[in-house]
Structure 1
């Protein structure tokens, strides 16, 4: 179902201790945080539905429940803050944020399309009404001013 998206052992050495220890529910033991975290990364990277999560990351519902639990308890916010502090202390490390990544000039906006829409709106406002109802509404508006 696509290439495996995972973290290296070096990356996991930084991330693993920052994640909460999971204990099993009922009589089942908890699964490995790394496997579930990689499943969450697969979901973030592919944008697929949870049900399409490959089996190698665990049952989709288990990964989803753990993801929701971590979101609710602020695990990802704390992880981001901790990693940002580590980057500030380490001069050789870099962190990329979407605010510093420049988009291609085509992705900036639809400037020509906006001008065309504005011109159409201006032309519609200046044109005479096409029906008797439009004429009476325009007359009522001008009389009330």
Structure 2
């Protein structure tokens, strides 16, 4: 069975804009980076499909390398620079760009424990605290309605 990949989602026109803000190998220790464009395609593939990193097709390179680059770009400001470069070239006004980039909160939901609330910050009845742990449920010891 042939696996169809949707690579090539970054157009040449978009890549011309993004390439100028990508980190360079100059002065960097270690091995040269894999191709930035292929790596970015892999990151896009992973988020588009919702697959685990380890399921990334070999076409995009080792999944560990792609993940490490994503992590680096998330922390070193590369993604921010990419967005700024695209906004700088866009013919759209800022409201149109925000509409394209917005995420619908009816689709993306986080569990209450994902919000970072401390356990002791629950207000009200402590019995209502789901706390993220296994809750104890009372058990009567017999079937309902048994005499």
Q: TM-score, normalised by structure 2?
A: 0.56
Tell me if structure 2 keeps the 8 A contact 1:51–1:60: yes
Q: What is the number of residues matched between the two proteins?
A: 98
Tell me if structure 2 keeps the 8 A contact 1:22–1:33: no
Structure 1 residue aligned with 2:38: 35
Structure 1 gaps of 5+ residues are 108-145
Tell me if structure 2 keeps the 8 A contact 1:5–1:38: yes
Specify which structure has the bigger relative contact order, considering alpha-carbon pairs within 8 angstroms and separated by 6 or more residues.
Answer: 2
SS at match of 2:43: helix
Q: 2:102 aligns with which of 98, 104, 109?
A: 98
Q: TM-score, normalised by structure 1?
A: 0.57
Which segment is superposed worse, 13-22 or 60-69? 13-22
Q: In 2 relative to 1, CA 69–91 (structure 1 residues): closer, same or farther, beyond 3 Å?
A: closer
Structure 2 residue aligned with 1:114: none
Larger Rg: 1
Structure 2 gaps of 5+ residues are 108-147
Q: In 2 relative to 1, CA 25–63 (structure 1 residues): closer, same or farther, beyond 3 Å?
A: farther
Give the superposition deviation at 1:13.
Answer: 1.1
Higher helix share: 1
Structure 1 residue aligned with 2:85: 82
SS at match of 1:20: coil
